[in-house]
Structure 1
Amino acid sequence: MNENDKMQILRDLLFEDDAIFIEKIAKRLERLEDSFNDNDKFTSKVDPIILHQLDEFKTSIPQTLGPTITAALKIEIKKNKDEVVDALYPVIGKMIKKYIAQEIRKLSESINRQLGFKEKIKSWFGKSKEKQAIVNELAAAHIEQVLLIEKESGLLKGSYSNLHTIDEEMISGMLTAIKSFAEDAFGQKGESLELIDYELYHIHLQSFSSYYVAVVLSGTYTLSAKDKLQDLIFDFYEDFTKKNEYKSLSSDRINTELAQNFRYASL
């Protein structure tokens, strides 16, 4: 028996318990590695733990993160009032309009129920429906021009037009000057000029935080037409603020957006 054999026998005698323990560890590591490599086995062990942690996290959010999130939102809103107003104004405006429209509809239904049958007969046969339809079509309001104007500077950001005007930049500056003068002259805080009548045209002005929209109309500008126009403006501006949030849209792109929203609109 040589020296190596003697050393091996000595090791076996001295480290027999350690060898068994090391073999057990090796087998456990092998099983653990097998679990990591087998996606199904790994998922079956990890998923319940993750789901449990998520349930605890959802339960604790109102108490742990709620106050922090609320405080952070308040700070951001104070820092970025204009951006918040621009984002919320179209949404809130449409909500208010829907509520008012619903209340008016209820009032109209209530009045109609109280009208006598005799009055209804008179309204049905007292005039020609075809003639009235033609008159209404001829008198209806039509969108001739739309301008998106920067509120502070009066600079024209984009436009869509059926009219052949001399200089849209000059028109936007003129409208801004008239608007500012009227609002300063009356000094009513929080109120803005909404309508300018110019011979056969009406100019509707819809103010937002950073911009305002000027719409030139021909025909009869009724409350119904105003209601539809405001819906169009709110829809356009809400879409515009989303697309313009992280990068400044070019004038050509804004012109395209205005044309798509107002070209075929019916009031």
Structure 2
Amino acid sequence: MEDQDKLEILKKLLLTEEKEFADSIAEKVEELSKIVHQKQELSHKVDPIIDDKLEQFVEEIPKTLGPTITEALKEEIKNSQDAVVEALFPIIGKMIKKYIAHEMRLLSENINRKTKAAFSFKNWFRKTRAKAQGITEGDLILSDYAKPRLMQMFVIEKNSGILLADYSPLSDGTIDKEMVAGMLTAIKSFVEDAFEGGDQDLELIEYELYTIHIQNFYSYYVAAVISGAYSMMFKEVLEDQILDFAQHNISNKELKNSALFTQKLKKHFADDIV
């Protein structure tokens, strides 16, 4: 065997292994290329289906999971009433404080209007009385306001919180009455539900200079916002007047006619309660 033949045999032995290795790499690269290509092709077909399913899932979540989540929240609130009260108290407090601050501004405006009112015998008598007592007329008006006084009265449907009628002898009616009615109903329901008191109803809310007297009836309740000293005597007189008004003026006709209801409420409580 010549040297040339031997060299050819050696080259074949060496290159065969290298060729097999190169062929295996090429085969693997081709397989990977097919996989990538197939995924891209599959993605074009599958992605729209997945997007549709996701949209359908998002739309159906409130219907399918909503009742379950609501029930779970109710159970959690029931088992953690102290924590719920602690969490909601600052929020409710801010709402009440905002309402009170607004009413205080209205009260201040009323006082200023009274001091700047045109001459009348009542104004002259008040000025004379203030001078005799050595105090300013504004202080005398403020002392008058320290007496229990009806600031606002609401008649509100119990379950819905809808305002049925309202009357205010002092306010200009600039407050959002429907919002206040809803807020009072929310506070009332929250307190009654938060404490296991059976069928007992919330009857009084005190906040700084104001007392909200609540008188409950079957399908509605009356909320009277009182400024000044809320005494037991005033409470009894107020309760009697509300009961008297309900007995003689409230029927299904009034409950369905807000304008008529408000007119009767204004007529009945136009005079000072005490």
TM-score between both structures, scaled by the size of structure 1:
0.46
TM-score between both structures, scaled by the size of structure 2:
0.45
Highest CA radius of gyration, 1 or 2?
2
